[in-house]
Structure 1
Amino acid sequence: MSKQFDLSVMDGMDRREVREYVSSLLWQLRLCDGFWFLNVEKRHGRAEAEAVNGLVWDKMGDLAARDVLERFGPFADTPCGFWKAYEYLPWIPTVECAVEHDAPDAEGVIRGITVTVRRCPAQAGREKHGLEPYECREMHETEFRRFAARVSPSVQVECVQAPPDPTPPEYDCRWRFVLPVGAGGDR
């Protein structure tokens, strides 16, 4: 599937070098995303930057899901299947998060997971530079729903807490991914 890119730079790299290379790419991607947002915000205001960001992530949720499915799928139509697919996205290694699984139901299906983002690099960067948190709830809700619709269509997305909600110091946002009663669910 990597026919779209010339990855010959990795030819001859050992495992450590490949990991360093991937880490560098992730860092650069995160910086590009952050500087893009900050510059739109400077020119057009935070509300406009958030609106454009929402449009981008609406599209990215679907495109990323399609790519992950083609390369690594299929995934179970469950919250665990959804999260397994989502972990392939480049943002997960850059974010400190915790995943809690609900107890399995009588059929042995885990019908819900809670994902807590303990430290969001974007929000931490804004705080470091004296900027207010940006409102990311709607953007992430859209992204998660679009991703789930393609990867695990029975999974529902619930925002527990995310900016603009006030959040406690222990975390930046919290989400639930659930399989409604009566919906399928591969183990």
Structure 2
Amino acid sequence: MLKNANSPDELDKKETARLVVDLFHRTIVHHALWFAEVKHQMGMDRALEFLHAATKKSYDVQMHHLSKLLGFSMDDGIPGPLLAMEDKDLIALRDRAAKNWLAGDGIWFQTIESAEGLNEAKRCNDSCWAQFSPFEASSIKKLLDLPESPGLEGLKKALAFRVYGFVNEQSFNDETPDSFVFQMNDCRVQSARKRKGLQDYPCKSAGLVEYSYFARAVDKRITTECIGCPPDPHPDDWFCAWKFTLGK
């Protein structure tokens, strides 16, 4: 894209802007690779501890310099322009960020599927969830200041704050003191397939990883049981359902 340039000083304004975007991308990927390598060397629990510590320091340093350079204020770690937005616009930005995450997930899947086939894409997808679910649970626990073992109430709170919670419709049912059933009443991916006349995407293998790893990362005492998930048959009012039980 910048094949005629021999040095950054030769770039025009548009090319320099493109380089800036690429530098942000490299920073994000490098951050993720650090986490992946620490996890490989020291295990998930230690990697998550280091991730939170490094992210806090890195974010503070980067936003300090960016806010000075671009001329915006910071308020308790939050960029001033976000706080200046109308409530409805901030909610719209929140939802767009979640939808962008889902789009990125789908693009990765389709990229692998088109090159290597469905089985390879599913294998990579399931393995990715084994990494992302514990991270997301840990991130949400940090965000909500949940205790180490928050029980079923903590899990319900955490499920509401998953990225999927902002793009899908979900509910809690059949609650007892020791368990509850979580239903995905409207799944953006499956509903889109349904509108196109396609069969449900068989996501059970990923779901078994996604939900069990997430619940266990929230509270190690919680076990997960699949009630139904495609390709399983399911009623019209949910696409998948999961039972979470708190052990002793």
- Give the Å deviation of 1:96: 1.1
State the SS of the aligned residue for 1:167.
Answer: coil
Q: Which residue is 1:87 aligned to?
A: 160
- Give the Å deviation of 1:149: 2.2
Q: Which residue is 1:145 aligned to?
A: 212
User: What is the percent sequence identity of the aligned residues?
Assistant: 22
- Give the Å deviation of 1:69: 2.1
Q: Which residue is 2:113 aligned to?
A: 41
| Preserved CA contact (<8 Å) 1:127 1:133 | yes
Amino acid at match of 2:225: E
Counterpart of 1:66 (choices 117, 120, 138) is: 138
- Give the Å deviation of 1:22: 1.0
State the SS of the aligned residue for 2:185.
Answer: strand
Is the aligned partner of 1:3 residue 2:59? yes
Is the aligned partner of 1:12 residue 2:84? yes
**Matched residues in 1 for 2:237 and 2:117: separation?**
28
**Matched residues in 2 for 1:61 and 1:79: separation?**
17
Q: Which residue is 2:239 aligned to?
A: 172
Q: What RMSD over aligned residues (CA atoms) do the two structures have, in Å?
A: 2.3
Is the aligned partner of 1:133 residue 2:200? yes
Between Structure 1 and Structure 2, the one with more helix by share is 2
Counterpart of 1:21 (choices 60, 70, 93) is: 93
Amino acid at match of 1:87: A
- Number of equivalent positions: 175
Amino acid at match of 2:226: C
TM-score by length of 1: 0.81
| Preserved CA contact (<8 Å) 1:61 1:147 | yes
Instruction: State which structure, 1 or 2, has the greater radius of gyration over its C-alpha atoms.
Output: 2
| Preserved CA contact (<8 Å) 1:62 1:150 | yes
TM-score by length of 2: 0.63
**Matched residues in 1 for 2:112 and 2:143: separation?**
33
**Matched residues in 2 for 1:48 and 1:130: separation?**
24
Q: Which residue is 1:106 aligned to?
A: none
> Which structure 1 residue ranges, 5 or more long, are not aligned?
104-109
Q: Which residue is 1:107 aligned to?
A: none
Amino acid at match of 1:64: E
